[in-house]
Structure 1
């Protein structure tokens, strides 16, 4: 199990989506063939074509992450890639755990990497934030609500009370509109998508505070297009 934990942490440390966003964005050229994001055990990361060796030495990451780069807003695209990266990291960790325990029989495999070991591995991994949670420009509804002291009962709408509390918050410059990329502006109406949990200026998504009060669940334009398969 130690090998799987080490492999997860070292690859997790190569979170280019968090630390090298501009370089990563440039390398994901939509005009190239279907690319994947690999995190190596050395801590380095690489955008490359999938391995030609079959079966692959490790589980393969999501293929074609570069194709949607220019058809979505940047923050939404990075969030999607981060979700795939988290899924791949978990798959690699459990693959290494199983592979390290391989014995001649399936019965021995289950004994060597059984329920206690899987729970222990999952607990160790869960102590770290996910790649998606670590993305500094991706702010979830819960995080923004807490930082701006918004009462959860008020839902995903940015209220006047929240705007008053913003002045007391020292980190408001790290909040970005997922549509235009502009930083938080206390004088503007903001709304959160209840499906992708990204925040938007109301004007960027043609939504007013009055309209928001009439909506039970708000779905942003990107989520609508994705649902329609566009």
Structure 2
């Protein structure tokens, strides 16, 4: 499979970065690029796999020819069952297999590095702190609005409010079960750069999907679906300091 790295990651934080990038590519494939993936998974073609690549893109391709393969291969032949089940069930099936493949690749690299018990636990904890691809897919599918390009302005408002908010407030660190070691600061910085992958709505606790309209509370710094707090993109443009319902109630009680 072209595009797979020739050299394996050299340390745990590189394994996690590789996991995050492949994960981002697969989420894109099964949400915003779903139609392209569906069309490429033609049952008339030979066995195909869905790959998440380490540059945050995806590819539908036949498996590698070399034996043994450089890294574990994704589930083979996902295209053969495409037309034998409802579209959403097929999509969920691919997501589940993609989640399994990502963990297999990460722990394969860990085995190559011969990481110890503590590093394995930490790698699993960092992975487990993220929503699965299937969870991200379900969140995306349950949104009341369609997922077309009409939501670009919404994502721009989310980004611009994040920029203004970060200028006035100190960013909160990512919550982890065990504190990062000194040499793992790069992992935390990478997670901060990809915060949209980790963000959960403060109201419904669903994961953020690119293109949705979200708004950030300037008091507690939590993000919310606009629909969950009854704020539209047009209304958000006229709000200088947004306070979520929870923070508003606290102020009333005080």
- TM-score w.r.t. length of structure 2: 0.50
Q: List runs of 5+ in structure 1 lacking aligned partners.
A: 102-108, 140-145, 148-168, 172-230
User: Which residue of 1 is the match for residue 22 of structure 2?
Assistant: 11
User: Which residue of 2 is the match for residue 39 of structure 1?
Assistant: 52
Partners of 1:65 and 1:89 lie apart in 2 by: 16
Residues 65, 81 of structure 1: 8 Å contact kept: yes
Deviation at 1:138, TM superposition (A): 6.2
Partners of 1:31 and 1:138 lie apart in 2 by: 31
Equivalences for residues 90-169 of structure 1 within 5 A: 90-99=103-112, 101=113, 109=114, 113-135=115-137, 136-137=140-141
Deviation at 1:170, TM superposition (A): 4.3
The yes-or-no answer on 1:24 pairing with 2:28 is no
> Aligned pair count?
133
Deviation at 1:7, TM superposition (A): 1.0
Partners of 1:68 and 1:6 lie apart in 2 by: 32
Partners of 1:49 and 1:92 lie apart in 2 by: 18
Equivalences for residues 179-218 of structure 1 within 5 A: none
Q: List runs of 5+ in structure 2 lacking aligned partners.
A: 1-11, 144-202, 205-225, 229-254
Partners of 1:70 and 1:94 lie apart in 2 by: 33
Deviations 1:3-40, CA, capped at 9 Å, x for gaps: 21111011011021123111111111011001001111
Partners of 1:3 and 1:92 lie apart in 2 by: 12
Partners of 1:116 and 1:17 lie apart in 2 by: 33
SS where residue 47 of structure 1 aligns? strand
Partners of 2:100 and 2:116 lie apart in 1 by: 21
Partners of 2:98 and 2:227 lie apart in 1 by: 31
Deviation at 1:126, TM superposition (A): 1.1
User: Which residue of 2 is the match for residue 78 of structure 1?
Assistant: 91
Partners of 2:127 and 2:90 lie apart in 1 by: 24
Partners of 1:76 and 1:4 lie apart in 2 by: 30
Deviations 1:187-214, CA, capped at 9 Å, x for gaps: xxxxxxxxxxxxxxxxxxxxxxxxxxxx
- TM-score w.r.t. length of structure 1: 0.55
- Could you list the structure 1 runs, at least 4 aligned residues long, displaced by more than 3 angstroms after superposition: none
Partners of 2:83 and 2:97 lie apart in 1 by: 18
